[in-house]
Amino acid sequence: MKDKSGKIRTAVILAMFFCLAFIGLAAVYLSIDDLPAVIRIGYAVLMFALAAGMITVLKERIREIRKGETDDLDNY
């Protein structure tokens, strides 16, 4: 059981890191005044979409770990 919790913890930490990076990039894009507003907002929306996708992937990975699939590569 400890092995599963460690893998879940690692997945959550990595997902949090990437989500924070995406949100940070969105903030940077929104703060650049030299770009037109449409481009700044477009980049920010893209970064938020990537963060949402990362959360979706994290949920799926946690579900796989709980089912006992420790390595996705076995499916291919």
Q: Is residue 24 part of a domain?
A: yes
Share above pLDDT 90 across residues of the chain, in percent, rounded to a whole number: 68
Q: What Å distances lie between residue 52 and 21, 24, 57, 68, 74, CA to CA?
A: 12, 14, 9, 25, 26
CB 43 within 8 A of CB 29: yes
Q: Which domain holds residue 57?
A: 2-69
Determine the pLDDT at residue 67: 87
76 domain-assigned: no
Q: What pLDDT does 57 receive? A: 94
Neighbours of 40 (CB within 10 A): 18
pTM: 0.80
**Does some domain include residue 47?**
yes
* Total domains present in the chain: 1
Whether 11 contacts 73, CB under 8 Å: no
23 inside domain:
yes
* Confidence check: pLDDT of 43 > 70: yes
